[in-house]
Amino acid sequence: MAIVDLDDEEARFELLSAYVDNEVTAQERQLVGQWLRDEPAMQEMYQQLLMLRQAIRTAPVPPPPPLEVPTPPNAWQRALSSGVRWTLVCTTAIALFSGFSQLRSPQGRQNVYEAWQWLKSLPQETLWEFASTVKELPSNNSVP
């Protein structure tokens, strides 16, 4: 910082502030030291800057707000909430209808049994989600 105009209050304040932060040259330090010895107003401003500096250093820092990261849905929820749901419904329906026609042969019955075992191995949440996508069939009373 260059030597300041002694009549410019803002420049004098800037130099005093730099002095408090220990950011002055030896020549500027000497000038500010002279001000502090000779000028009561500068001494008062210096004391205020020191108190402000101390208040800033000791001020409590509030904790940051908690970071809320939405939990992504698991893979089954993503798959079942998209078009994959209808693909599963249609595939299962086709498999069931083709399975009924195969019940006449021992190999067909074995295939249906294996498909049933696979369905039972799925997690229960998946089966409930799957079941919730199927519309109820009309009762016999509503058929004319």
SS3 at position 104: coil
- Tell whether pTM > 0.75: no
Give residue limits of the domains in the chain: 9-58, 75-142
How far, in Å, CA of 18 to CA of 25, rounded? 10
66 vs 94, higher pLDDT? 66
Contact 24, 32 (CB under 8 A): yes
- Render pLDDT for 86-128 as a digit per residue (tens, 0 to 9): 677 777 777 777 666 666 677 777 876 787 787 777 776 766 6
Confidence of residue 130 (pLDDT cuts 50, 70, 90): low
Q: Can you tell me the mean pLDDT for 21-36?
A: 92
